[in-house]
Amino acid sequence: MLQDGDGSGKTIVMAMVIAWHILNKVANPQDARFSKNVLVVAPGLTVKSRLAVLEPAGAGNDYEAFNIVPSALLDSLRQGKVLVRNWACARLGERRAAQEAPQRG
């Protein structure tokens, strides 16, 4: 979890960690320490929309905008998948799963 003030660079730090994981997984597919699939949970809809820049294939992504990875590695980075979800949606999914679960007793 990253907590800091507005404009402190939290999204850039997340982009660097995501890029590190995806690029290492692409280079070493059998290495269980890395993943090409990343889940980012946002605390609200406003933050969720701002974090869309973490999707490597998305327009205006931070990887290209801030030169986080060399342009030669962008195609490798795009092999990863980043899902940004709202915390409230995750909680709703838990409630639905609990409702659909068979009742004991």
Per-residue pLDDT at 88: 77
CA distances from 55 to 39, 64, 96 (A): 11, 11, 27
Residues of the chain with pLDDT under 70: 1-8, 89-105
Task: Name the β-bridge partners of 42.
Answer: 86
> Nearest to residue 12, comparing CAs of 76, 81, 69?
69
Per-residue pLDDT at 87: 84
> Is 0.75 topped by the overall pTM?
yes
Per-residue pLDDT at 96: 56
Per-residue pLDDT at 102: 61
